[in-house]
Structure 1
Amino acid sequence: MMLAACGGSGSSGSDEPAFSSKEALGENLFSDVNLSMNRTQSCATCHDPDKAFTDSATNTDGSTVAVSTGDDGVSLGDRNAPSALYAMFAPAFQNGSRNRFNSQQDDYSGWMGGQFHDGRAAGLAAQAGGPPLNPIEMGMADRASVVDRLLENQDYVEAFERLYGSDVFNDTDTAYSAMTNAIAAFENTDEFAPFDSKYDRSLLDSDDPNYYNYGVISKVASGKALFFSQQFTNCATCHQLNRQGSSTETFTGYEFHNIGVPVNTAVRTANGLGDEFIDTGLQGNNDTVGDDATQTGKFKTPTLRNVAVTEPYMHNGVFNELATVLKFYDHFKTGSAFTINPETGVEWAEPEVAENFAEAEMLDGRLFRTTDSDGSGESDEIEAMVCFLMTLTDARYEHLISDEEWETCEAE
């Protein structure tokens, strides 16, 4: 359970410390709005634990916002807030390689890992230190201003000095690093990686009371077969980390690719960046990569865990439905029936960055089969894929998917 952002029981006279561990301290810091300039925003504001640690704010039509509003109530970012769930497993940002499974493609070699869409933070602690100082997020002027807010809370002072040393507040950078370390400790707890989805439960022994049976001819089973297929889809190429059946599969290889995502024009209109602005992704936002033009437009492959409840999709939130994402992938292939974006009713927009398109990965696999020759009807295979992706939802968030949706997918 998330703690209230106002300290713990220690300040009320109890002999027990308000925060007995770094994890408990980090949990409170994660939800503390006092660490933002106007005291209105915390980490949990954009990473709501009730919506799989993504932004739960909605537009007037009830859809989830594509980008988050800052502490000032006005500023808008340009990227969708990713889920903090399973983020602990991302390797430190590096130029490396990894084995690919259930893929016709060669093993991956290149930039991988890190936090944020562009990998610019090496790990969770570095990531946690970014938003408080970002002028369009939590808006604090500098580290010293954040530390001053920590010093306002006597429970924090006691906890920091006990957990990080009595001299922790003697140096601003030391105190700020201790804060980010505590938040990272919280984000490394089981709450952020329960591995208890229906998919995970299907890996259990059939005698286990938590076991989940896909059913041999259910839509879910069909979608699973498609996902892990080498010849039918290319999903596993970028979204499978371990050999099939792994109990710690995160459904991302942490690779960086340009998959041809178009501009989210509604966001650009709202945030005022204008038609000339281009989000260059990995190349433009990661100092380690520098000015390497071959990295322009690339973004980190996200986890598919909880993807059915963390809409909207892509790094800029340009698509609202999972089925749209799958049709978008398919439309790049010659002969695809999905030539129209179902959310706009017109042809797919051009990629924001045309260079460095991941042609080998995106054009792998065959076309999705459709129920109608002109593609006007829903594809059984796309529906099956969506059903499988639904089973990657953690148990605590399964209620966010309607009973009718579950029943339709599990019917044999």
Structure 2
Amino acid sequence: MPNNLLFALLAVFAISPAAAHEAASATLAPGYRALPFTAPQPGSYILPVLGSAADGSVVDSSGKPVSLHALYDGKIVLLSFIYATCNDVNGCPLATGVLQQIKTRLKNKPQLSGKLRLITISFDPEHDTPEVMRHYGQGFQNAGSDWRFLTTKSEMEILPILQNYQQSIDKEYDAQGRLTGKFSHLLRVFLIDSHQRIRNIYTISVLHPDMILADIETLLRESSPAVVGNHAPESADATDPLRPGDDKSGYADSAYQTHTQALNARREKPADLFRRARQPMLGLPQLPTPKDNPLTPAKIALGRKLFHDRRLSLNQTISCAMCHIPEQGYTSREQATATGIEGRSVRRNAPTLYNAAYLTRLFHDGRESTLENQAWGPLLAANEMGNPSIGYVVDRLAMLADYTGLFQKAFGREAGMETVGQALAAYQRTLVSGNSAFDRWYFGKEHKALSPSAQAGFALFTGKGGCSSCHLVSGEYALFTDNDLHNTGVGYLDSMKIQPTRQPVQVAPGIALDVDGASIAQVAEIKAGDLGRYEITQRPEDRWKYRTPTLRNIALTAPYMHNGSVGELKSVVQFYNRGGIANETLDPRIHALGLSEQEIDALVDFLSALTGSDNETLVADAFAAPIGN
């Protein structure tokens, strides 16, 4: 803030010349200066719900009683608590000054007109009468502004409000124990949405008009209707890869109950996976099982226990299910690439395990051909589960009392390299998912099962888009993969270190900041190279080839591509519409498609219709599994 504006504010607050001089020479809070970095782009992140905004009885500057909820109704609100005689430049004057800057900027932001209300409440009602608050606010009022300066009838009425907002206020005393008329308090400004929920709390270090206005505009972009109770806002789109994984909506409320599926569903009972796997599922072929590892209930139950057991990692913290998360489509929707023990980085995205039974090539580079063998890859990878050897895992299982007799029951012998792989494979083969809306329309001949837009998308998928040349659909079933490997240019782009100038960086669940690429490079380690299938075959023509993923449940399994570099399904379609990334070994089937925006949306509608109808059974069963220590 320029000094002339600072002194103008000090004059409004009737601060003494000596105090003004002291304030001018003090280290000013960030809210008085230009932001040293660019504020995040509105709508590029999600503001979590921090709790319900409490009600309370206050008095307006004319002396009329009014409730806080009546003032909040339908408005986005910035709420600050101050007292009129405060002369700490980084205290109450800071809060009022920042709100003043926001009010001034509203003139250039007509989209906020009528939607934002500023509320300042005194926590010193003995001195700050309605008349005092009216005088206090006169310098900040003008035509079109909506800024209310409030107080309460008594200290007894302000106390419950302060407690509900966890606003700590203490009266100050001099050396003789006499009241000084000053207060010690923690400066906090609350952002409250139009549904009376707290969405952010600004303290002195982050109280800045640029940040607050970005948050306000982000709230305005939430177009979904309000939700009931403690649920998160529907605008936190379930397809958003940056959405919070743990719903803490209403956490500050004394009646809080978690709505996080992963926690609530732990009370679920195991499903009969053996019976489910033997039932034909519309749209899928008969479940393949190797002759040397037929499915049995005992094998499936043992594999399920192994899959969810954290004790199978070196430091007993990571299980298979922590990268292939059941409620996130058996992948990880919150990370572009997987994270192993001790936070070690993994080069590639965790692929979905839905319908892995039908794959003949496993891992993104296709280096394994059976689930039995594939299971040992993550167990032994130093940056995944970290075990030093096969024997180390087998010996640990032998020491765990709750595994006593389980391998004997399932295989007639003790745990070993073969039986561990077979048990894990048996469980993974039961993760079948079909009978989607598309299946009911295409194979079941239910003409109304698929929307007209999705039907148009399927015509593009098999026609102009050419998608079905790799994501196969037959007259009897559809695996939506050719079980082959292709170069689309994504791996080439990574290898050439071609990065955007700015990138979104997730700083907390559901929150991302747009950060300059040069800043990222200063603190990031050099990204590990990845040549795809070439690393397996050593043939130059196999550079940057990766396995064709199934498209079933694709709406559940963002982010996309082998490196998790694409966050939204529409962005994937747009990538292929542009013709991928040109390079010397680009698959000849990848070329510009010339799809219109309407055709792109139709393709997305079709892909969104590939979600299985009975996934909840598998997720609920997974939540009933023990996770080890």
TM-score w.r.t. the length of structure 1 is: 0.67
Distance 2:553 2:308 in 1: 21
Partner of 2:594 in structure 1?
367
The corresponding residue for 2:318 is 41
**Aligned pair 1:214/2:450, yes or no?**
yes
CA apart distance, 1:152: 2.5
Partner of 2:545: 298
Deviation at 1:196, TM superposition (A): 1.8
Cα displacement (A) at 1:125: 1.1
- Shift in alpha-carbon separation, 1:53–1:145, aligned structure 2, 3 A: same
2:328–2:556 CA contact under 8 A, matched in 1: yes
Instruction: Find the counterpart in structure 2 of residue 312 from structure 1.
Output: 559
| Aligned partner (choices 301, 304, 308) of residue 31 of structure 1 | 308
1:274 paired residue number: 526
Give distance in 1, aligned partners of 2:307 and 2:407.
Answer: 15
SS at match of 1:21: helix
Query: 1:123 deviation in Å?
Result: 0.9
Q: Deviations over 1:221-243 (max 9, x none)?
A: 111111122xx111011111x42
CA contact under 8 A between 2:558 and 2:564: conserved in structure 1?
yes
Deviation for aligned residue 1:307: 0.8
Give the deviation of 1:54 after TM superposition: 0.5
Q: CA RMSD in A?
A: 2.9
Shift of 1:246: 2.4
Indicate conservation of the 8 Å contact 1:77/1:271, yes or no: no
Shift of 1:205: 4.4
Partner Cα distance (2:406, 2:456) in 1: 51
Q: Distance in 2 between matches of 1:188 and 1:33?
A: 21
Task: Give the alignment partner of residue 88 of structure 1, picking from 357, 373, 384.
Answer: 357
2:351 & 2:565 partners in 1: Cα distance? 13
What residue number does 1:50 align with?
Answer: 327
Alignment partner for residue 389 of structure 1, among 593, 604, 607?
A: 607
Equivalent residues of 1:257, 1:300 under 8 A apart: yes
Report whether the alignment pairs 1:193 with 2:432.
yes
Q: Displacement, 1:176? A: 2.1
Partner of 2:390: 143
For the 8 Å contact 1:51–1:397, the answer to whether it is kept is no
Give the distance between the partners of 1:197 and 1:321, measured in 2 at CA. 20
Q: Deviations over 1:383-407 (max 9, x none)?
A: 1100000010112459xxxxxxxxx
User: Which residue pairs with 2:131 in the alignment?
Assistant: none
Relative distance call for 1:227 and 1:20 in structure 2 (3 A) is closer
2:627 corresponding residue in structure 1? none
| Aligned residue in 2 for 1:344 | none
In 1: Cα distance, 2:595 partner to 2:402 partner? 57
> Alignment partner for residue 468 of structure 2, among 221, 226, 236?
236
Q: For structure 2, which runs of at least 5 residues remain unmatched after alignment? A: 1-261, 271-295, 506-519, 617-629
Q: Supply the distance in 1 between the matched residues of 2:546 and 2:554 (Cα, whole angstroms).
A: 17
In the alignment, the residues of structure 1 paired with residue 615 and residue 409 of structure 2 have an alpha-carbon distance, to the nearest angstrom, of: 36
1:260 aligns with 2:489: yes
1:260 is displaced (CA, Å) by 0.6
Q: Give the CA deviation at 1:148.
A: 2.1
Displacement of 1:280: 0.6
Query: Which whole-Å CA distance do the structure 1 matches of 2:586 and 2:525 have between them?
Result: 24
Between 381-390 and 192-201, report the one with greater CA deviation.
192-201
Contact kept? 2:336, 2:564, Cα under 8 Å: yes
Q: 2:486·2:548 contact (CA, 8 Å) conserved in 1?
A: yes
Partner Cα separation in structure 2 for residue 295 and residue 80 of structure 1: 20
- AA aligned opposite 1:257: H
Asked if 2 retains the 8 angstrom alpha-carbon contact of 1:125 and 1:184, the reply is yes
Q: Distance in 2 between matches of 1:65 and 1:271?
A: 19
Deviation at residue 310 of structure 1 after TM alignment: 0.6
Identity of aligned residues (%): 34
**Moved beyond 3 Å, runs of 4+:** 203-207, 264-273
Deviation sequence 1:344-395 (CA, Å, 0-9, x none)? xxxxxx66xx33111x20127x4102xxxxxxxxx11111100000010112
Task: Give the partner amino acid of 2:556.
Answer: V
Output the CA distance in 2 between the equivalents of 1:20 and 1:222.
42
Of residues 283, 288, 299, the one that matches 2:534 is: 283
C-alpha deviation, 1:122, in angstroms:
1.6
Any conservation in 1 of the 2:372–2:425 contact (CA below 8 Å)?
yes
Residue 198 of structure 1, CA deviation = 1.1
- Give the number of the structure whose residues are more often strand, by fraction: 2
1:76 aligns with 2:345: yes
**Structure whose CA Rg is larger:** 2
Q: Using structure 2 for the length normalisation, give the TM-score.
A: 0.45
1:306, 1:394 within 8 Å by CA — same for their partners in 2? yes
| Counterparts in 2 of 1:309 and 1:194: CA distance versus 1, 3 Å | closer
- Segments of structure 1 that go 5 or more residues without pairing to the other structure are 9-18, 57-63, 92-113, 170-174, 334-349, 370-378, 399-412
C-alpha contact 1:76 1:270 (8 A) present in aligned 2: no
Q: Conserved in 2, the CA contact under 8 Å of 1:306 and 1:390? A: yes
Contact 2:380 2:390 in 1 (8 A): yes
Distance 1:327 1:203, change over 3 A: closer
Tell whether the 8 Å contact from 2:578 to 2:591 is kept in structure 1 after alignment. no
C-alpha displacement of 1:272:
5.7
Specify the code of the residue in structure 2 equivalent to 1:246.
E
Aligned length: 303
Give the conservation status (yes or no) of the 8 Å contact 1:296–1:355.
Answer: no
Deviations 1:323-355 (A, max 9, x none): 11111112138xxxxxxxxxxxxxxxx66xx33
CA offsets 1:271-302 (integer angstroms, 9 cap, x no match): 96626x53110011x2xx2x211111111111
Residue 147 of structure 1, CA deviation: 1.1
